[in-house]
Structure 1
Amino acid sequence: MRQTVPVTDLDARATELKFRTATLADVPLLVALVESAYRGESSRAGWTTEADLLDGQRTDVADVEAAVSGVGSRMIVGERGGEVVACCQLQHRGVHAYFGMFAVRPGAQGGGVGKVVLAEAERVAREELGVPAVQMMVLRQRADLIAWYVRRGYVRTGVTQPFPYGDERFGRPRTEVLEFEVLVKKFAES
């Protein structure tokens, strides 16, 4: 099912996004999208790069397949003009939806695409999953990214999780101080 999300005060191209649920056929494209948004030289074209903090991969085929077809999990794909420009994962975890694997093509960052994708994920969490909150983990060292989420209503919980050092499925750290911070957004009761 494709859906257009009306959003005001954004780059007009961002509001042209069409959303659909990813299929297993999308997995290779989604792996490439996530990698391009966070790792390597291509990621430096956008502002979400982690290239100064981590080398190696951000995700792999097995992780994206699990996000696409796992129980309680859904990958949302954002397309513009028939081309995939963004994605994110929502996983139903009982009292909240976990938001992750969020990526916007580096050349499309900064024009409101991320805001529209996040709004769609929140809509799906509220209306389709029926949860009262969205939770995520962000590298604590990404102050700019955390500030972006805070401006969209997410709250820093102060809860941290250690980075999985030694597990190259998550990348090769370039520093020894990485950790994740948990952010949460509770929806207003209607």
Structure 2
Amino acid sequence: MQQMTYRTAAADDVPALVDLVQSAYRGDRSRAGWTTEADLLDGQRTDAQMVAAAIADPRGAVLVAESAGAPIACCQVERRDGYAYFGMFAADPGRQRGGLGAGLLAEAERYARAQWGTAEMRMTVIVQREELIAWYVRRGYRRTGELSPFPYGDERFGRPRRADLAFETLVKPLSGEPAGRPSEAGVSR
């Protein structure tokens, strides 16, 4: 795996992070990796306003994994009532399958515990993404069966290619477990 460091995102990261998220999930570039949603959704996955809002949100942080000074993966961690929410997870499609995503996920879990004392991480995943759900299950997440609707009609999240999309909530307890793989220097601000 490539040498990488973790840090929190800043406002000047917005263009690179929008491109990173888009490349991991939508369009032909996303097909180089295994996380593509190109067969499920067209259009955008995020935009500059949504990424900038996530970076500025005092309830959370956008974490960045970088190599040679360039962002290669990112995620959002948000403190909510009694748990942390994990989202906006993206890894450069050309670098997937090498532990990059697993390392950043472990860093997000460590961050949530260290910064907020969070005992649980939650996320939502499109139910049709069975391979991705299985990846999270292998990392200790549990399927809840709790479904929420896809935001049909809100093109900020893409244009669905099918009518049956929904999200399932996945949950992982964080308290009492080892801190995960330590980062080179932890997350810097």
Normalising to structure 1: TM-score of the pair? 0.91
2:99 to 112, 115, 132: 112
1:124 to 111, 122, 126: 111
Q: Which residue of structure 2 aligns with residue 4 of structure 1?
A: none
SS in 1 for 2:44: coil
Alignment size in residue pairs: 177
Equivalent residues of 1:94, 1:131 under 8 A apart: no
Which one-letter code corresponds to 1:37 in the other structure?
A
**Are 2:120 and 1:153 equivalent residues in the alignment?**
no
The 1-side partners of 2:113 and 2:29 are apart by 34
Moved over 2 A (4+): none
Q: 1:188, CA displacement in angstroms?
A: 3.6
Q: 1:94, CA displacement in angstroms?
A: 2.4
Q: Which residue of structure 2 aligns with residue 76 of structure 1?
A: 63
Unaligned runs of 5+ in 1: 1-11
Unaligned runs of 5+ in 2: 178-189
Percent identity, aligned pairs only, is 58
The 2-side partners of 1:49 and 1:105 are apart by 11
Q: Which residue of structure 1 aligns with residue 9 of structure 2?
A: 22
Equivalent residues of 2:120, 2:175 under 8 A apart: no
Equivalent residues of 2:118, 2:175 under 8 A apart: no
Q: 1:136, CA displacement in angstroms?
A: 0.2
Q: 1:146, CA displacement in angstroms?
A: 0.1
Q: 1:71, CA displacement in angstroms?
A: 2.3
Q: Which residue of structure 1 aligns with residue 43 of structure 2?
A: 56
Which one-letter code corresponds to 1:65 in the other structure?
A
Which one-letter code corresponds to 2:79 in the other structure?
H
Q: Which residue of structure 1 aligns with residue 181 of structure 2?
A: none
Which one-letter code corresponds to 1:133 in the other structure?
E
Give the number of the structure with larger relative contact order, counting CA–CA contacts within 8 Å between residues 6 or more apart: 2
1:87 to 74, 90, 115: 74
Does 146-155 or 81-90 show the bigger shift?
Answer: 81-90
Q: Which residue of structure 1 aligns with residue 186 of structure 2?
A: none
Equivalent residues of 2:113, 2:175 under 8 A apart: no
**Are 2:131 and 1:138 equivalent residues in the alignment?**
no
1:183 to 149, 167, 170: 170
Does 121-130 or 33-42 show the bigger shift?
Answer: 121-130
The 2-side partners of 1:84 and 1:21 are apart by 11
Q: 1:153, CA displacement in angstroms?
A: 0.1
The Cα RMSD (Å) is 0.9
Normalising to structure 2: TM-score of the pair? 0.92
Deviations 1:90-126 (A, max 9, x none): 0000211100000000001011100100010000011
**Are 2:24 and 1:37 equivalent residues in the alignment?**
yes
